[in-house]
């Protein structure tokens, strides 16, 4: 055990201690796969213990910002994201304000251990979710506040389109038993945010100002700290919006998982899980 890895919210130690961002069980094997921002794709067996490495580098370069995944158990394939080939997780604000578009959607084939890059040039590739019939995979593009759809099978196979435009910055996407998708928004987009993220010169200029992380973050989200979860249909229509507008219970949510009539809600900043009765 690394003795220094005991403090919460310690960005300066993330590259040493690791920073898990995505978790997914393989329901066929019971293995838990972990997307760690610094350590890449890892796996731990059903009994727990020390995780082992699955993917650490792609195309000869180490993964810099592994983010999320979904698993196709029938094809022994894992779809996962690398948010940036330039910035680490602790530099995510710089990634957004620099207009970085080096994010990728990747596929790992468990049988032959090969990694394929499916999509490149993504603006902060984030959450991943397969459709119920596995005909397409969704990937959240956080900087542009949208969700992209890559068709895997059928007449549109290989094509990419915009599945949904959102009012804020999407984090993880999770499918429910009906085939609908819950999207966690880190925050609504602030008044000036669209201007910042669409103009690289403005974004880079902001980074040169004597502003700390909290000040930059406040500009991006308009000072709002409330929680927003959006349910989308299988075709991308907005079915439901849940908001804690004053941020009294939850803020900056990262994941919404529906199970047995409840939503289990995680946050990148709150040290607890939220539970919402549907």
Neighbours of 113 (CB within 10 A): 9
Beta bridge partners of 236: none
Residue 192, pLDDT above cutoff 80: no
Residue length of the chain = 278
Residues 223 and 216: beta-carbon distance below 8 Å: no
Paired tokens of 248: 């009294």
Paired tokens of 173: 């996407």
Residue 145, pLDDT above cutoff 80: yes
Residues 170 and 122: beta-carbon distance below 8 Å: no
Give the model confidence (pLDDT) of 64-121 as tens digits.
Answer: 999 999 999 989 999 999 999 999 998 888 898 888 999 999 999 999 999 999 999 9
User: CA of 214: how far to CAs of 47, 79, 87, 136, 226, in Å?
Assistant: 40, 32, 19, 37, 15
SS3 (DSSP) at 223: coil
Residue 1, pLDDT above cutoff 70: no
| Mean pLDDT confidence for 11-34 | 92
pLDDT-derived band at 22 (thresholds 50, 70, 90) equals: very high
User: CA of 88: how far to CAs of 37, 246, 270, in Å?
Assistant: 7, 31, 21
- Confidence at residue 160, expressed as pLDDT on a 0 to 100 scale: 98
CA 64 to chain centre: 14
Dihedral of CA atoms 56, 64, 99, 270 in degrees, nearest 10, equals 110
Sheet with 20-25, strands from edge to edge, namely: 20-25, 32-36, 40-44, 52-55
DSSP state of 125: E
CATH number assigned to the domain with residue range 11-277, chosen from the 4 options 1.10.760.10, 2.120.10.30, 3.40.50.970, 3.30.310.50:
2.120.10.30
4-18, 185-199, 223-237, range with the lowest pLDDT: 185-199
pLDDT-derived band at 223 (thresholds 50, 70, 90) equals: low
Please state the φ and ψ torsions of residue 260, each to the nearest 5 degrees: 50, 45
- Confidence at residue 41, expressed as pLDDT on a 0 to 100 scale: 98
Residues 169 and 184: beta-carbon distance below 8 Å: no
pLDDT-derived band at 194 (thresholds 50, 70, 90) equals: confident
- Give pTM, 2 decimals: 0.93
Cα–Cα distance between 163 and 150 in angstroms, integer?
9
């Amino acid at each position: 055990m690394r003795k220094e890895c005991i403090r919460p919210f310690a960005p300066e130690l993330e590259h040493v201690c690791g920073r898990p961002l995505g978790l997914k069980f393989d329901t066929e094997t019971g293995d838990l796969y972990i997307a760690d921002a610094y350590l890449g794709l890892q796996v731990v067996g059903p009994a727990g213990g020390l995780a082992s490495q699955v993917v650490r580098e792609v195309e000869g370069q180490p993964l810099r910002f592994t983010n999320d995944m979904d698993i196709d158990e029938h094809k022994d394939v894992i779809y996962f994201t690398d948010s940036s080939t330039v910035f680490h997780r602790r530099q995510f604000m710089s990634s957004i304000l620099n207009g970085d578009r080096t994010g990728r959607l990747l596929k790992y084939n468990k049988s032959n251990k090969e990694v394929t890059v499916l999509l490149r040039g993504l603006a902060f590739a984030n959450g991943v979710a397969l459709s119920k019939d596995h005909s397409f995979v969704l990937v959240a593009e956080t900087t542009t506040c949208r969700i992209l759809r890559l068709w895997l099978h059928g007449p549109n196979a290989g094509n990419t389109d915009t599945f949904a435009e959102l009012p804020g910055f999407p984090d993880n996407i999770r499918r429910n038993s009906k085939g609908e998708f819950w999207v966690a928004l880190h925050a609504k987009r602030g008044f000036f945010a669209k201007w910042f993220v669409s103009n690289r010169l403005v974004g880079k200029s902001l980074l040169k100002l004597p502003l700390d992380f909290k000040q930059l973050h406040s500009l991006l989200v308009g000072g709002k700290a409330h929680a927003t979860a959006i349910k989308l249909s299988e075709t991308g229509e907005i079915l439901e919006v849940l908001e804690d507008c004053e941020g009294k219970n939850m803020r900056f949510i990262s994941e919404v998982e529906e199970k047995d009539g409840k939503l289990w809600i995680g946050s990148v900043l709150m040290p607890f899980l939220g539970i919402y009765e549907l």
